[in-house]
Amino acid sequence: MSTSPKLLDVQHVTVEFHIGGLLGGALLTAVNDVSFSLESDKPEIFTLAGESGSGKTTLSRLLLRDLEPTKGKVLFEGRDVSTIRKRSEFIEFIKKVQPVFQNPFETFSPLRRVEAYLFDTVKNFRMASNRREAAGIVDDALRSVGLSLDEVRQRYPHELSGGQIQRVSVARALISQPKLILADEPVSMVDASLRMEIVNLFQKLRDERGVSVIYITHDLATAYYISDRIAIMLRGYIVESGPVEDVLERPAHPYTQLLKESVPEPTPSKRESWAKHIELGVTEIKEYGRIGCKFAGRCPKVMDICRQADPPDVQVGRQTVKCYLYSEHVEKTEAGTQP
């Protein structure tokens, strides 16, 4: 075990939003008591997966210090990010944590040449003293995503393909030599035939540059393909987390089971299990306000206790599951292991 502080340590974070008017309105808990951490000496790809409205993006805004948690703490290299006040400290922090966004055509202004963004980043972080040095840094970043400054020079966003421009977006994030990249749905706007090149790129960055990646997605198939660990989110909670092979091959939480079953497989002969009918929620707000397990309204194995209080986090094999189904099981094993 290393004694150095963790790269990222999210401790019991809760984010509440007030929705509706001044009078009345409601409290919406977008992120609810979420904890996870990334080790500093072991780069990995950590996936946050879940449906729209599950709190994935709120959590990523929290990690970028774009939002303050209502409760809990986010520690980056041992420091609570909410104590960062000075601009110089913020620059030091954001140098190490860089975002990659969903739609590369919105990330870059259509009226500016893409290289301008790369040079701006070098300038903002004061990484070079002259233009030639800056060009070297930019070229280096572009080369690690399989492009070069000569290919990109003088080009506008529309002159590059979706895959290329998303790679430029990753290159921009790499300029400051970050330790952590936050990629929010980085492939959902990229064409199918180019998608895998972005996904493979994250793997390469982890292995060759030692960069950790938080990959936010609703696409479980690519998540399985690239990540080391995964956390499944539902209405603000992490309902199941663990090594991606365990969570997606043998899902324990009924919601993860439903998710996995719903991913259409590209094999026509396996149509039957997917064609089984399912219940869908009518509105989203109802599920947020539910007391107890948020999945209780749709869960096939629902028990009375699920509607009364939040389920506990239970260790099942290598995964952590937030479900009453397994809480009994844990008491038994604990009793069994006691001397």
Binding site for other proteins (CB under 8 A): 50-52, 161-164, 191-197, 199-200, 218, 220-222, 224-225, 248-249, 258-260, 262-269, 271, 274-275, 277-278, 280-284
Long-range CB pairs of 274-282 (<8 Å, 24+ gap) are: none
| Nearest to 54, CA basis, from 228, 217, 189 | 217
C-beta separation of 157 from 176 below 8 A: no
Residue (62 or 247) nearer to other proteins, CB: 247
Q: Report in angstroms how near the CB of residue 270 gets to other proteins at its nearest.
A: 8
DSSP string, 253-316: SHHHHHHHHHSPPS-GGGHHHHTS-----S-HHHHHH-SS-TTTTT-TT--GGGGTSPPPEEEE
Q: Report in angstroms how near the CB of residue 222 gets to other proteins at its nearest.
A: 5
Across-strand partners of 38?
Answer: 8
Residue 174 makes CB contacts below 8 A (sequence gap 6+) with 98, 141, 144, 145, 181, 205, 209, 211
Q: Report in angstroms how near the CB of residue 248 gets to other proteins at its nearest.
A: 5
Q: Report in angstroms how near the CB of residue 264 gets to other proteins at its nearest.
A: 4
Pairwise CA distance, residues 19 & 23, whole Å: 10
Q: Report in angstroms how near the CB of residue 230 gets to other proteins at its nearest.
A: 11
Residue (19 or 305) nearer to other proteins, CB: 19
Question: Which position has the token pair 């969903």?
Answer: 102
Q: Report in angstroms how near the CB of residue 240 gets to other proteins at its nearest.
A: 14
C-beta separation of 295 from 255 below 8 A: yes
Residue (48 or 248) nearer to other proteins, CB: 248
Q: Report in angstroms how near the CB of residue 331 gets to other proteins at its nearest.
A: 31
Residue (126 or 276) nearer to other proteins, CB: 276
Across-strand partners of 321?
Answer: 240, 314
DSSP 207: I
Pairwise CA distance, residues 102 & 216, whole Å: 10
Q: Report in angstroms how near the CB of residue 63 gets to other proteins at its nearest.
A: 22
Residue (195 or 206) nearer to other proteins, CB: 195
Residue (134 or 259) nearer to other proteins, CB: 259
C-alpha neighbours within 13 Å on the C-beta side of residue 130: 1
| Nearest to 319, CA basis, from 269, 227, 238, 246 | 246
What backbone phi and psi angles, to 5 degrees, belong to 205? Answer: -65, -40
- CB 93: neighbour CB atoms within 10 A? 16
Residue (137 or 216) nearer to other proteins, CB: 216
Residue (97 or 198) nearer to other proteins, CB: 198
Q: Report in angstroms how near the CB of residue 278 gets to other proteins at its nearest.
A: 6
C-beta separation of 332 from 325 below 8 A: no
Residue (87 or 277) nearer to other proteins, CB: 277
